[in-house]
Amino acid sequence: MTGAATTFCYDLNGQVIKVSAARAELWPSFDLMLGTMRVSEPVQPGFRIDILETSALPEAPEGKLAFDGEVPLDGHCRLVDGGDIVHLIFPGLQMASVHADEGWAEIRVHPGSKVKWTLMMMVLDAALDASGQHMLHTAGLTLPGREALVLIHAPSGTGKSTTSMALASQAFGLCSDDVMILSATPGGTAAWGMPRKVKIHRNTATMLPFLSPCLGDTWDAEGEQAVSLDRLGEIIRIEDARSRPVAALLHLARSADGQTRLMPMARTDAMVALATDNVRTGMTGLLPMQKRRMATIAALVKAVPTFTLEVGARPADAAALIRAALDRA
């Protein structure tokens, strides 16, 4: 790396990460997602991410092959478990090496390219894990008049964003429609939302017309529009990134008869569903970070009531059902 590095720090609920790169253009996605969490005053980071622009990629590091295949959007990659170091390699393009025990990661990219989303999320995951926090593919919304929140889990395409927007129209506060950061302590489980834009599908817009003031006329190839939290904040309550206690875990499912209903879900089933979507098993078994994520999911499921939420033609009906169930609990 030549010249002075561009450096920014971000405070992820007490875990400060420091990102350094030769050019700011190498890490635009970091700042797009974490810009509101940037800190300007000098602070000691808990995790460091160095981004190097270089053609030299050590593509055969020591370790066991844990994954070799395609990842969505980013293409073919290999994951090598080197024990103290884990490497994610996109052959001939770029790679990341995570030194978890030492609290830092290195990303190497070819000149003129940008960091792939998969690499960025891997090192961000490692930085959070170093502070006992774990990224989960769930939505999160605060209950009306309360600080506590509910987590809503579902595989992609099941309707998390639609359900989240419908609940937000009923005085729930939106933390995130897709990515929540979970931590578990002896005092309980808590979570906060990653401040990302919300992707609104045209079907969601049709079902929830109150969203129309936030939408334009152009839809992408997937029939979606990315809407900023500032824009959404004009019509719904957007929560800040403070960590809040988790009151319940809801597993989202489509209703077969168009009716919306909320039913108790066995804790073991809830754990399997959440772990299946959030814990990755490689050819070498679970990596240490995945084991810690699994333990945190287990603590969550043990600590809070778990439900199946079947959403029908009127997703806003779920709001009253959730409030009533938690009032009884």
DSSP of 181-193, one letter per residue? Answer: EEEEETTEEEEEE
* Separation of alpha carbons 127 and 49, rounded Å: 9
* Separation of alpha carbons 31 and 48, rounded Å: 15
Statement: residue 258 has pLDDT above 50 = yes
* Separation of alpha carbons 75 and 188, rounded Å: 39
Q: Which residue has the higher pLDDT, 48 or 34?
A: 48
Classify burial at 213, counting beta carbons within 10 Å of its beta carbon; exposed 0-12, middle 13-18, buried 19 or more: exposed
User: How confident is residue 1, by pLDDT bands cut at 50, 70 and 90?
Assistant: very low
pLDDT digits (tens, 9 = 90+) for 121-130: 999 999 999 9
Average pLDDT of every residue of the chain: 92
Place of tokens 């597993």: 251
Query: What is the model's pLDDT at position 159?
Result: 86
Query: What is the model's pLDDT at position 196?
Result: 87
Give the chain's length.
Answer: 329
Phi then psi dihedrals of residue 19, to 5 deg = -110, 125
Query: What is the model's pLDDT at position 157?
Result: 74
Statement: residue 3 has pLDDT above 70 = no
Q: What is the DSSP string of 191-220?
A: EEE---PEEEEHHHHHH-GGGGGG--S---
Query: What is the model's pLDDT at position 63?
Result: 94
Q: Of the candidates 281, 240, 58, 260, which has an alpha carbon nearest to the alpha carbon of residue 166?
A: 260
Phi then psi dihedrals of residue 239, to 5 deg = -85, 155
Query: What is the model's pLDDT at position 158?
Result: 78
Averaged pLDDT, 33-45: 84
Query: What is the model's pLDDT at position 2?
Result: 46
pLDDT digits (tens, 9 = 90+) for 150-165: 999 987 777 899 999 9
Q: Which two tokens stand for residue 187?
A: 């005092």
Query: What is the model's pLDDT at position 27?
Result: 76
Averaged pLDDT, 136-143: 96
Query: What is the model's pLDDT at position 4?
Result: 60
Statement: residue 276 has pLDDT above 70 = yes
Averaged pLDDT, 306-319: 95
Statement: residue 211 has pLDDT above 80 = yes
Query: What is the model's pLDDT at position 29?
Result: 74
pLDDT digits (tens, 9 = 90+) for 92-118: 999 999 999 999 999 999 988 888 989
Q: Which two tokens stand for residue 262?
A: 């909320």
Choose the weakest-confidence range: 128-137, 175-184, 281-290, 320-329.
281-290
Q: Which two tokens stand for residue 160?
A: 């998390």
